[in-house]
Amino acid sequence: MRTSALLAAPLTLGHLSSGLIGFVDSAVAGHYGTDTLAGVSVGNALFWLPMLVPMGTLMSLPPRVSELDGARRHDEIGPLFRQSLWLALVLGVLMFGFLSLAAGLLPSMGIAPEVRPHAQAFLLAIRWGIPAFTFYLCMRYLSDGLHWTLPTMLLGFGGLLVLAPLGYAMAFGRFGFAPRGAAGLGIASAVMMWMQALAFAGYLWWSPRFKRFALFAHLEAPNWIELRRLLATGLPIGVTVAMEGSLFIVTSLLIGRLGAIPAAAHQIAINVASLCFMIPLGLAEATTVRVGHARGRADGAALRRALRASYALLLITQTVSALVMVFGRHVIVGAYTQDAAVAALAAQLLLFAVAFQYPDGVQVISAGALRGMQDTRMPMLLAAFAYWGVGMPVGAGLGLGLGYGPQGMWAGLIAGLTVAAILLGRRAWRSSRRLA
Which helix (H) or strand (E) segment is 265 a member of? Answer: helix 260-296
Residue 358's pLDDT is: 92
Buried b (16+ CB within 10 A) or exposed e, 244-261: bbbbbbbbbbbbbebebb
Residue 318's pLDDT is: 93
Decide: 354 and 325 in contact? Cβ < 8 Å. Answer: yes
Residue 251's pLDDT is: 82
In single-letter form, the type of residue at position 17 comes to S
Tens digit of pLDDT at every position of the chain (436 positions): 888 888 888 878 877 777 677 677 777 877 777 778 777 877 877 787 778 788 878 888 887 888 787 777 877 788 888 888 999 999 999 999 888 887 777 777 777 777 788 888 888 899 999 999 999 999 988 888 887 878 888 888 888 888 888 888 888 888 878 878 888 888 999 999 999 999 999 999 998 888 888 888 777 888 888 888 888 877 787 777 777 777 877 887 788 777 778 888 887 888 888 888 888 988 998 888 888 888 877 788 888 888 899 999 999 999 999 999 999 888 888 877 777 888 888 898 999 999 889 999 999 999 989 988 888 788 889 988 998 899 889 988 888 888 888 888 889 989 999 999 999 999 998 888 887 7
Residue 415's pLDDT is: 94
Sign of CA dihedral 82, 87, 93, 98: negative
Closest among 275, 249, 267 to 45, alpha carbons compared:
249
- What are the CA-CA distances from residue 391 to residues 353, 412, 423 (Å)? 14, 5, 14
Total residues belonging to the chain:
436
Cα separation, 416 vs 247, in Å, equals: 8
Range of the domain at 30: 2-435
- This prediction has a pTM of 0.73
Number of domains observed in the structure of the chain? 1
